[in-house]
Amino acid sequence: MIWLEKPLKLEAPCVVGSSSPLSMLETNSIQMNFMIFLGTGGGGKVVFSQARASGGLYFNMDRVKFLIDPGPGSLVNMRSLKLKDPNGILLSHLHPDHSTDANMILDGLKNSFLIAEEHCLKISKRYYPCVSKYQQSLVKFLKPVKAGDVVKIPESEIRIEVTKADHYVPTVGFKIIGSKTIGYPCDGPYFSGQERQFEKCDAIIFNVLVPHGKVPMEHKHMSVDNVIAFLKKLEHKPELVIIQHFSFWMLKSNVHEQAKIIEKNAGIKTIAAKDFMKINLDLLKEEKSGLGRFV
């Protein structure tokens, strides 16, 4: 592990009414904790078509900015939306729809952190790392992780619990614990006990590729019915559920209807993410006035 030599340069707390020449968008961004979906498509076909964008998640939480799973388009979308440079990246696994832009983004960052499932970083018998050796050398705080690890983002109060996922390549999920607790089980179907890793979340973001009532030919991805089973078994349920990372199967099945099915069966407010949707993490609801203008 490479520990930080210098503190990460995090932003000063926001001053409301500041005269800084930030765009309205950025001014809003600094004033609150938020996340933005830089893409909501998942799997090779949707990503190749760009029927939905595929840039992963951008977080601005407790003055730390980070990306989760920056797939193709992450950098371009981040620039188009005039978002501030992230301080670091979380990578759940080495699939390209989750990781392609990581190298280029790390190339431009200074004092960055990278918390990544270990096969993203190390050569092994079956897998080749998705982050190059050179880009890894640029990172100030580099942390390969596996399920069960707990990592603190340097110079912050944010703790990341690394969770187990049952995908067909080595994959982890994340429970991000800051002023709000956000769960991201990542790719892979539900397995018994998975939900125990996500107790007491304020919101959970599910990657859902299989519609209600359908069973995939291969046991690779989360279904709507999996999400319902997961949520029903939770003792301490989240206030908000968001589904994303949609396949064509989901897109053809009306993702908003699919979200309603989850909401009705699990009794938890559920929304289907849209590209560039902004969620106010303080209020745990969609921010219509900010980036919503661009959707």
Residues forming the site for Zn ion (CB under 5 A) = 42, 95, 97, 187
C-alpha angle with apex 247: 197 to 95, nearest 5 degrees? 60
Instruction: Give every CB contact of residue 190 below 8 A, 6+ residues apart in sequence.
Output: 222, 223, 226, 227, 229, 230
C-alpha angle with apex 136: 131 to 138, nearest 5 degrees? 135
Least gap, CB of 152 to Zn ion (angstroms): 26
Least gap, CB of 181 to Zn ion (angstroms): 23
> Tokens standing for 78?
């981040």
Least gap, CB of 249 to Zn ion (angstroms): 14
Least gap, CB of 244 to Zn ion (angstroms): 10
- Read out DSSP for 239-283? SEEEEE-B-HHHHTT-HHHHHHHHHHHH-SEEEE--TT-EEETTT
β-strands 64-68, 54-61 pairing: antiparallel
Q: Which is nearer to Zn ion, 30 or 68 (CB)?
A: 68
Least gap, CB of 275 to Zn ion (angstroms): 16
Q: Which is nearer to Zn ion, 95 or 143 (CB)?
A: 95
Residue number with the shortest CB distance to Zn ion?
A: 95
Q: Which is nearer to Zn ion, 142 or 172 (CB)?
A: 172
Q: Which is nearer to Zn ion, 111 or 247 (CB)?
A: 247
Q: Which is nearer to Zn ion, 88 or 170 (CB)?
A: 170
